[in-house]
């Protein structure tokens, strides 16, 4: 029997029991749940990563839904036995979730897209510049009291103007990163871009490469010794996606052998740990998975996660466009009666939310709106 876990309780007499394994930023998400008849229990344990036993103890024997850690068969079946029907990650990536196990147990899995695109791209752009211009090394040098006057060779880095930026994984975040890096000065020729035929072409040609793929079997160790070897010796490699996309042991060896090759890393293969030797590399800028850490974004993520589970409790349909979640984020407005993003909606046969204006247009046969829906790959409108 798992030992009890410390919790903070909101709206103790609420009909539905919602458990959050972490305290999340802001208060709107708490209000939204408490005002809708949910008893909210927030885990207040100080350890960062909860064990399976800790989470089992939190689920207990009656739990309607669960917000946010590594989730597989053991936890989803326990949630189901406790009467639970929904789980939401407070993240857009859900490689920590075994969605098949959730499907088997009939649990809806939410995530939080659309609210962290720019904030993550901004961090990737910051890492690109910080690595290229050796900002962290220079900062440490300054604080150590080592600066004794301007020198022509002091912390010479890479000029990015006119260089080639490669983006691997041009989804929402990769595209936002590209837009940020392609800024041009007034009067200059527009920046050009092309879709590379192979990933190897990007690795060979680019001076700065930012990784934005999802993590799955096909992207595990996408950056391996062979691919590191074809990159330019002075390239900058940035990763704000998921750690295992890079073979980190091979990366450490590459950084040792190529002191002018630089990396900016937000994520690590064995998070929260770094592979031996990485922390000693001056040509690596490392930050603790903070890509989405802006106040607006983190509060928005908490709100979307809460609304995913609340929507499931209320029997709401799933929002039709996870790229456009602003209506859920307006601080003082009532959010739409929908779950913002349920990744296994199709598998669970959930209905999609279609805004009233679009329903009207659909009924009059407006083709452009049907096209809009199919572009979003949300065609299975069982009912509107
Ligand atoms: O996937 C995400 O949303 C981020 O990595 C969490 O910050």
Sign of CA dihedral 236, 240, 243, 245: negative
- Separation of 293 CA from ligand 1 center, angstroms? 9
Nearest CA to ligand 1 atom 4: 91
Q: Which residue in the list 242, 254, 262, 378 is annotated as catalytic?
A: 242
CA atoms within 13 A on the CB side of 59: 28
No. of H helices and E strands in the chain?
14, 13
The answer to whether residue 17 is catalytic is no
Rounded to an integer, what distance in angstroms lies between the CA atom of residue 178 and that of residue 271? 26
Asked whether 267 and 241 are in contact (CB, 8 A), the reply is yes
Least trusted range by pLDDT, from 212-226, 275-289, 341-355, 370-384: 370-384
Ligand 1 atom showing the smallest separation from residue 116 Cα: 3
Q: Which of 127, 219, 291 to mutate to test the pocket of ligand 1 (most atoms within 8 A of CB)?
A: 291
112 alpha carbon – ligand 1 mean position (Å): 9
- 29 located within any domain: yes
Q: Which residue has the higher pLDDT, 165 or 379?
A: 165
C-alpha of residue 336 to centroid of ligand 1, in Å: 24
- Give the CA distances from residue 108 to residues 27, 41, 62, 184, 355, in Å, rounded to whole numbers and listed in that order: 24, 19, 17, 44, 22
64-73, 143-152, 165-174, 295-304: which range is least confident on average? Answer: 64-73
Please say if 73 is a catalytic residue. no
Protein residue with its CA nearest to atom 3 in ligand 1? 91
76 and 186 belong to one structural domain:
no
Q: What is d(CA 305, CA 338) in angstroms, rounded to the nearest whole number?
A: 12
Q: Whose CA is nearest to atom 6 of ligand 1?
A: 91
- Print the domain residue range for 48: 7-114+294-353
> Which residue among 240, 292, 322, 325 has the greatest number of ligand 1 atoms within 8 angstroms of its CB, and so is best to mutate?
292
DSSP state of 229: H
Tell whether 379 is covered by a domain: no
Residues 125 and 218 occupy one common structural domain: yes
| Number of domains within the chain | 2
For residues 189 and 343, what is the distance between their CA atoms, to the nearest angstrom?
Answer: 41
Would you state the pLDDT for residue 69?
Answer: 74
Alpha-carbon distance values, 299 to 65, 231, 329 (Å):
20, 38, 9
Pocket residue to mutate for ligand 1, from 120, 211, 322, most atoms within 8 A of Cβ: 120
Q: Is residue 341 one of the residues assigned to a domain?
A: yes
High-pLDDT (> 70) share of the chain, %: 90
The full DSSP string for 131-192 is HHTTHHHHHHHHHTT---S--TTTT-----TTPPEEEES-SHHHHHHHHHHT---TTSPPPP
| pLDDT tens per residue across span 218-265 | 999 999 999 999 999 999 999 999 999 999 999 999 999 999 999 999
Q: Are residues 62 and 194 in the same domain?
A: no
User: Is there a single domain that holds both residue 134 and residue 97?
Assistant: no
Residue 71, phi then psi, degrees to nearest 5: -120, 125
Ligand 1, residue 289: give the atom nearest the CA: 7
Beta-carbon neighbour count of residue 190 at 10 Å? Answer: 7
Q: What pLDDT is attached to residue 191?
A: 79
Q: What are phi and psi of 35, to 5 degrees?
A: -70, -10
Q: Which residue has the tokens 């857009």?
A: 92
Q: Are residues 279 and 322 in the same domain?
A: no
Ligand 1 atom, smallest distance to 241 CA: 5
User: Would residue 253 count as lying in a domain?
Assistant: yes
Q: Hey, whose CA ends up nearest to atom 7 of ligand 1?
A: 292
pLDDT band at 375 (very low <50, low <70, confident <90, very high): very low
How confident is the prediction for the chain on average, in pLDDT? 90
The answer to whether residue 312 sits within a structural domain is yes
Residues 147 and 283 in one domain: yes
Active site residue 271: yes
Residue 17 inside a domain? The answer is yes
CATH number for position 99:
3.40.50.720
CA distance 140 to 70: 35
3-class secondary structure, 97: strand
Residues within a 6 A CB radius of ligand 1: 91-93, 116, 291-292
- Residue 129 inside a domain? The answer is yes
Q: Are residues 228 and 338 in the same domain?
A: no
pLDDT greater than 90 at residue 93: yes
One domain, residues 155 and 250: yes
Q: Are residues 151 and 280 in the same domain?
A: yes
Tens digits of per-residue pLDDT, 181-224?
Answer: 987 777 787 778 889 999 999 999 999 999 999 999 999 999 99
If asked whether residues 369 and 220 sit together in one domain, one would say yes
Q: Is position 133 within any domain?
A: yes
Q: How many Cβ atoms sit within 10 Å of the Cβ of residue 188?
A: 10
CA of 368 to the centre of ligand 1 (A): 33
- Ligand 1 centroid–CA 341 distance in Å is 15
Tell me: do 233 and 300 sit in the same domain.
no
Q: Which atom of ligand 1 is nearest to the CA of 93?
A: 1
Same domain as 192, residue 125: yes
Predicted structure pTM score = 0.88
């Amino acid at each position: 029997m798992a030992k009890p876990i410390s919790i903070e309780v909101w709206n103790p007499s609420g009909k539905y029991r919602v458990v959050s394994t972490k305290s999340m930023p802001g208060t709107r998400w708490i209000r939204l749940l408490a005002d809708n008849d949910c008893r909210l229990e927030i885990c207040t344990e100080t350890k960062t990563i909860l064990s399976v036993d800790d989470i089992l103890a939190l689920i207990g024997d009656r739990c309607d839904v669960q917000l946010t850690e590594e989730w597989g068969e053991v936890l989803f079946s326990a949630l189901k036995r406790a009467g639970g029907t929904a789980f939401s990650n407070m993240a857009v990536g859900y490689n920590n979730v075994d969605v098949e196990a959730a499907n088997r147990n009939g649990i809806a899995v939410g995530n939080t897209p659309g609210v962290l695109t720019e904030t993550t791209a901004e961090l990737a752009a910051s890492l690109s510049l910080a690595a290229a211009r050796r900002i962290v090394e220079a900062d440490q040098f300054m604080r150590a009291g080592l600066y004794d006057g301007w020198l022509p060779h002091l912390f010479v880095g890479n000029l990015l103007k006119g260089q080639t930026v490669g983006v691997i994984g041009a989804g929402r975040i990769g595209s936002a990163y590209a837009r940020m890096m392609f800024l041009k000065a007034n009067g200059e020729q527009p920046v050009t871009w092309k879709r590379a035929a192979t990933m190897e072409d990007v690795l060979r040609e680019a001076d700065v490469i930012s990784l934005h793929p999802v993590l799955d079997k096909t992207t595990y160790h996408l950056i391996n010794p062979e691919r590191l070897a074809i990159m330019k010796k002075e390239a900058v490699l940035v990763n704000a996606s998921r750690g295992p996309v890079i073979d980190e042991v091979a990366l450490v060896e590459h950084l040792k052998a190529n002191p002018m090759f630089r990396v900016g890393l937000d994520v690590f293969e064995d998070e929260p740990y770094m592979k031996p030797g990485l922390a000693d590399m001056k040509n690596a800028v490392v930050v603790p998975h903070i890509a989405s850490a802006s106040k607006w974004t983190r509060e928005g993520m908490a709100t979307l996660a809460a609304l995913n589970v609340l929507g499931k409790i209320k029997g709401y349909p799933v929002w039709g466009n996870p790229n456009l979640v602003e209506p859920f984020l307006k601080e003082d407005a009532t959010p739409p009666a929908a779950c913002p993003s349920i990744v296994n909606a199709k598998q669970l046969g959930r209905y999609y939310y279609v805004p009233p204006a679009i329903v009207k247009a659909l009924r009059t046969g407006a083709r452009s709106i049907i096209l809009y829906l199919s572009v979003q790959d949300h065609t299975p409108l069982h009912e509107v």
